[in-house]
Structure 1
Amino acid sequence: MNKNHLSLIFYIFFWVSCQEKVQERPLNVLLVITDDQGWGDLSYNGNPYVSTPNIDNLADSSVVFDRFYVSPVCAPTRASLLTGRYHLATGTTWVTHRMEVMREEELTIAELLKAEGYKTGLFGKWHQGKQFPHDPIGQGFDEFFGYSEGHINNYFDTKLTHNFSEVQTTGYLPDVLTDKAIAFMKSEEPFFTMVSYNTPHSPFQVPDRYFDKYKSMELPNKEACIYGMVENLDENIGRLIDFLNSTGKMNNTIVIFMTDNGPNGIRYNGGMKGIKGHIDEGGVRVPFFIKIPGVEGKKLEPWAGHIDILPTLADFLGIALPENVDIHGKSLKPLINGDSLWIDRYFFTHQVVRDFDTIPGAVRNQEFLLTIKGNEKALFNLLEDPEQKTNILSEFEGTAEDLEGRYQSWFKEMTKKGINPPLIQVGHHVVPTVCLPAPDGELFGQVHFKGVMGWANDWVLGFDSADDKVSWEMLVVEDTNYDIFVEMVNVKPLGMKVEMNGESMIIQVDKKNEGKEVPSLDKVPRSEVYEKEWPWVPVGKKRFEKGKVLLSLSLEHGFDSGLEIKSIILQK
């Protein structure tokens, strides 16, 4: 055998070995989710105004689920996609007042993949709990760069959380998040990267060049801003895709694009009924594209939902799911691979309207949709009437009764652990600072929120008598000494009472404390509160002993002091 033959054999052996090594490498995962972007907020879905070429190109090479369902609002959708379970079963019921908090024992995609050697990172919105272990670090993410609440107050040069520290950023927030996600994906380790963009959720802020483009189309300010936000999102998603292509990682990465609920307002949505917060098609049907190495792009008609994401990823990654975890979704891999025997299922929806109740609720399958709102029930044939124009309940009473019975049974099963949110936990040795924001507290007397509803970042006022107070119930996991501060403003001296399990201390505040409002570049007036820089007023040192603690704050005197409270800070 001559040298040329030997060289050829060696080359073939080397090439085959390299191919085997490439195939053995675990697939990476990039999951992109946007906030309040509806099904119709893409040029791919026929929007006549907005331009989304990068997302459209991704769709062309992906498996597109024509009917993909999520929950009507943000936190419930995120709980379900992270766990493969309906949000009610995870403890997440709504979006504020700790109703957004997911129980720490829930298994997330991040925890599942981290156990398999993946590097896990979340960039952007979390919205499943602010304090450890209900924060991203406690739920399986190695790195968190973003914000824990339902929204953030400013999108330019804002402050974010990096793991357990506050950091100042420079630039427009979606651009910043993209930069951080790209840096994270440069690692040679297999990664699960979740980019949870803040837009086009309010406040409506976008660089002028995007806004001006859509304003020139004679659109209202809100739509011009939203479509500008969406175009910026498209450019950032293009940057993520370009990075994967330029580094060769695209050949080894599953890419998912989706949104978390229907549009945050009435605009183009393919003729569907409903918007964000609604249980109708327009409130819960969203774009969902999954690009899988080796799988050609195509569109699938059978419905799928957020509960299917975890089992689908586990199936494609070859990861066995724990037998003791009750996964409500199912792997879409057989359907993606052409399973012609795919069996139809039922998809359940629940929404809170301020107070928790069994309804509004809905149940769907491939053909029918039953909605229950107050005393109003309606049945629609989605195959013949996707715009829900004709209520056919009187013609199909038996079908409606069957669907309602399934919904009631589902609701009972999903809420068997109760709906009370888990307590705030303090005393974890890895956490240097714990924030107790006003919306996480319980209000008594005349105390009320500045922004009425108490969305994220809101604060409380109305301390006009000794009966007016705000309380936080906590679970102390280990005895810990904390310095206590109150983020507050006041215009006159006051005496503040801090109570813990029956013990109280009076803090005299003799000077005025002012909060400085942060300038906001809103294109549209907002319904939420504006951002302030709040003074930290020291209360004193206190030992928190293991067990349940009720911490309350009220006034001893100075009821005309103009007291407003943003949060209590516990610092080791």
Structure 2
Amino acid sequence: MPNEICCRARNAPSVCSALFPVKLLGFLCALLAPATILVAAERPNVVIFLADDQGWGDLSVSGNRNLNTPNIDSLARDGATFERFYVCPVCSPTRAEFLTGRYAQRGGVYSTSRGGERLDLDEKTIAQYFQQAGYATGAFGKWHNGLQSPYHPNDRGFSEYYGFCSGHWGSYFDPQLERNGELVAGEGYITDDLTTKAIEFVQRSKGEPFLCYLPYCTPHSPMQVPDQWYEKFDGAEIEMRHLNKSRESLPMTRAALAMCENIDFNVGRMLSKLDELGIADETIVIYFSDNGPNSYRWNGGMKGRKGSVDEGGVRVPFFIRWPGHIDSGLKVDRIAGAIDLLPTLADLCELSMNTDHQIDGRSLKPLLLEENSTWPDRSLVSAWGKRVSIRTQKYRLDNEGRLFDMINDPGQSHDISTGSQGIARQLKSEVEKWKQEVGFSDTNTDRPFSVGYSKSTRLPARDGMPHGKVKRSCHHPNCSFFENWVSDEASISWDIEVAEKGDYQALLDYTCRPDDVGAVLKLAAGSSAVIGQIAEAFDPPLRGAEHDRVKRQESYVKDFERVNLGTLNLPSGQAKLVLSAIKIPGTEAVDVRRVTLVKQD
């Protein structure tokens, strides 16, 4: 295998540029570190679309005749396609790798919920780099790298944020979202709403360079999509199927395809706005997804789906358009991944940054802009839980130690490890070295939830632990609530770390049936405690099923009422916040969505 290889499918004008070293400082240093400031007109804008659970095969440009995605396809036509682009098997790690240019394991992301999704505070994000260089920065959608400050997107370089910080959301129609930390009511279908807010940000930011990040939450379940998109697929014949048709749920496929066409519509809205504002030629546009498809459906014959470290779980579509700079229709066959996006965009936008951390990604600028670029061979690692796979330009070594020639066997059906023992040994050695370097682990239990870094701190059910007979409304924690509080021996707890000692007003979001009014609850941390009584019933119905196209696995949702339990005096440092029931006069105490601690002046 040659050490260097020419990688371009077409010629392009030669552009002389160099990637400056990148400096990734600790959290506080990240806010203060200097960055090179260029004249606004010399720097392009950046718009990044990130789909959620959309597979490589869920686009017509990939050859899928089941749907039509002309706007996303246009990015491939008018820009570059990376034909082998890799992300993580699930959501939050991919987002962390995009944000930092580093493997997610280096940044402490080991799970998708209960704190394991949080990006370590000494990691500096792409938004912080761009913000320091004078860019307006906004994110609109699913964050999934931490809720409580200082993990919140507003603390990680995004001046504007609208969306939700959890891993999935329970309702896509008029859902409760947040704007810059404040809970607000969403407006209409979530993908349409997020795009509208992003377009408004772009309109406000015209005249200065901007970084606009649009991490959608579709086609992730629940499988909800407006009628105008679903009608085409309702009962439709699905021409292109998963190789194992018995594993494919056609209702799920139809719903996912409808959601993908809605995404395409919204991508078109943004592209049209860039044209209308006259800034399309000054804007880099990127589109990719966070992992493989969330069901068994057509995906080009690749093995694996979401959650798998095989090809189908980690290979996704990737397109980048920059008119006048990147050749139209350029196809790049070199392997690349989410870890490459920060160094690439920093290079293209001429941001000068230094780092004490190792950047795992490479700038893809030579592949995009240089006429006769050379590109050293590389390996990319995919990991989730205890499973690890490694991909080179030609081979994949899977989690079981099986070796596949991905050029001649893209479906991973023929293990060649016996006949290629030298290659298999080398890749196994690389995996072990990678595990040691990144501190590979599928658990990390000593990370309490931060309180007091902002005026108000929300502690949702997702981040708590039930005790006794209390249980979650669903085993998927992200958008769940606690229910079945039938015993005064039960409780709910949150491990917290208080940044600043002082008084904190304690607010509880609850529901309670009329027959259960009167429950007396105690909220305590250390020697400080408050006691409050539920004096009013609030028993709204569950929502969500009325919009589902496929029966969901996640929790349904409902509205919650808020009660002030009183004021806690909290010392700084770690503590266990415990919500318990002193008295349950009815069958149950309350259902709990969250506790909010508000720092008092």
* Cα displacement string for residues 136-163 of structure 1 (whole angstroms, at most 9, x for unaligned residues): 1010001001111112221122222110
What's 1:346 paired with?
Answer: 379
Paired with 1:419 and 1:316, the residues of 2 have a C-alpha distance of 36
- The answer to whether the 8 Å contact 2:306/2:313 transfers is yes
Kindly state the Cα deviation for residue 348 of structure 1 after the two structures are TM-superposed.
Answer: 0.8
> Given the alignment, which residue of 409, 431, 450 partners 1:425?
450
Q: Do structure 1's residue 225 and structure 2's residue 252 form an aligned pair?
A: no
Let me know the Cα RMSD of the aligned residues: 2.1
Task: Decide whether aligned partners of structure 1 residues 24 and 515 sit closer, same or farther in structure 2, where only a CA change above 3 A counts.
Answer: closer
What's 2:520 paired with?
Answer: 495
What's 2:45 paired with?
Answer: 28
What's 2:298 paired with?
Answer: 268
Give 2:439's aligned amino acid. Answer: T
* Cα displacement string for residues 149-199 of structure 1 (whole angstroms, at most 9, x for unaligned residues): 112221122222110222223222111111111111122110000011121
Count of equivalent residues: 540
- The answer to whether the 8 Å contact 1:462/1:468 transfers is no
> Given the alignment, which residue of 313, 322, 339 partners 1:307?
339
Q: Do structure 1's residue 483 and structure 2's residue 500 form an aligned pair?
A: no
Paired with 2:139 and 2:170, the residues of 1 have a C-alpha distance of 19
What's 2:27 paired with?
Answer: none
**Secondary structure in structure 1 of the residue aligned to 2:563:** strand
Q: Mind listing any 5+ residue stretches in structure 1 that lack a counterpart? A: 1-20, 353-358
Q: Which range is displaced more, 395-404 or 309-318?
A: 395-404
Kindly state the Cα deviation for residue 534 of structure 1 after the two structures are TM-superposed.
Answer: 1.2
Paired with 2:289 and 2:281, the residues of 1 have a C-alpha distance of 24
**Which is bigger in relative contact order (C-alpha 8 A, separation at least 6)?**
2
Task: Decide whether aligned partners of structure 1 residues 540 and 243 sit closer, same or farther in structure 2, where only a CA change above 3 A counts.
Answer: same
- The answer to whether the 8 Å contact 2:530/2:567 transfers is no
**Secondary structure in structure 2 of the residue aligned to 1:394:** coil
Q: Do structure 1's residue 395 and structure 2's residue 422 form an aligned pair?
A: no
Provide the TM-score with structure 2 as the length reference.
0.86
Task: Decide whether aligned partners of structure 1 residues 508 and 88 sit closer, same or farther in structure 2, where only a CA change above 3 A counts.
Answer: same
Provide the TM-score with structure 1 as the length reference.
0.90
* Cα displacement string for residues 241-282 of structure 1 (whole angstroms, at most 9, x for unaligned residues): 111122221111111010111011011100101111111111
Q: Which range is displaced more, 319-328 or 409-418?
A: 409-418
Kindly state the Cα deviation for residue 286 of structure 1 after the two structures are TM-superposed.
Answer: 0.2
**Secondary structure in structure 2 of the residue aligned to 1:106:** coil
**Secondary structure in structure 1 of the residue aligned to 2:457:** strand
Q: Do structure 1's residue 453 and structure 2's residue 476 form an aligned pair?
A: yes
Give 2:333's aligned amino acid. Answer: E
- The answer to whether the 8 Å contact 1:494/1:558 transfers is yes
- The answer to whether the 8 Å contact 2:528/2:569 transfers is no
Give 2:340's aligned amino acid. Answer: D
Task: Decide whether aligned partners of structure 1 residues 326 and 464 sit closer, same or farther in structure 2, where only a CA change above 3 A counts.
Answer: same
- The answer to whether the 8 Å contact 1:72/1:284 transfers is yes
Paired with 1:526 and 1:502, the residues of 2 have a C-alpha distance of 42
Q: Do structure 1's residue 470 and structure 2's residue 492 form an aligned pair?
A: yes
Q: Do structure 1's residue 317 and structure 2's residue 349 form an aligned pair?
A: yes
The share of aligned pairs that are identical, in percent, is 37
Paired with 2:572 and 2:472, the residues of 1 have a C-alpha distance of 31
- The answer to whether the 8 Å contact 1:121/1:144 transfers is yes
What's 2:459 paired with?
Answer: 436
What's 1:371 paired with?
Answer: 398
Q: Do structure 1's residue 214 and structure 2's residue 233 form an aligned pair?
A: yes
- The answer to whether the 8 Å contact 2:78/2:327 transfers is yes
* Cα displacement string for residues 419-475 of structure 1 (whole angstroms, at most 9, x for unaligned residues): 3464322223xx332210112123434443220232x11122354556533221222
- The answer to whether the 8 Å contact 1:98/1:421 transfers is no
**Secondary structure in structure 2 of the residue aligned to 1:543:** strand
What's 1:16 paired with?
Answer: none
Paired with 1:498 and 1:169, the residues of 2 have a C-alpha distance of 31
- The answer to whether the 8 Å contact 2:308/2:314 transfers is yes
Kindly state the Cα deviation for residue 32 of structure 1 after the two structures are TM-superposed.
Answer: 0.7
Q: Do structure 1's residue 244 and structure 2's residue 274 form an aligned pair?
A: yes
Paired with 1:182 and 1:168, the residues of 2 have a C-alpha distance of 18
Paired with 2:182 and 2:532, the residues of 1 have a C-alpha distance of 28
**Secondary structure in structure 2 of the residue aligned to 1:214:** coil
What's 1:291 paired with?
Answer: 321
Paired with 2:190 and 2:486, the residues of 1 have a C-alpha distance of 39
Map 1:181-196 → 2, pairs under 5 A: 181-186=198-203, 187=205, 188-196=207-215
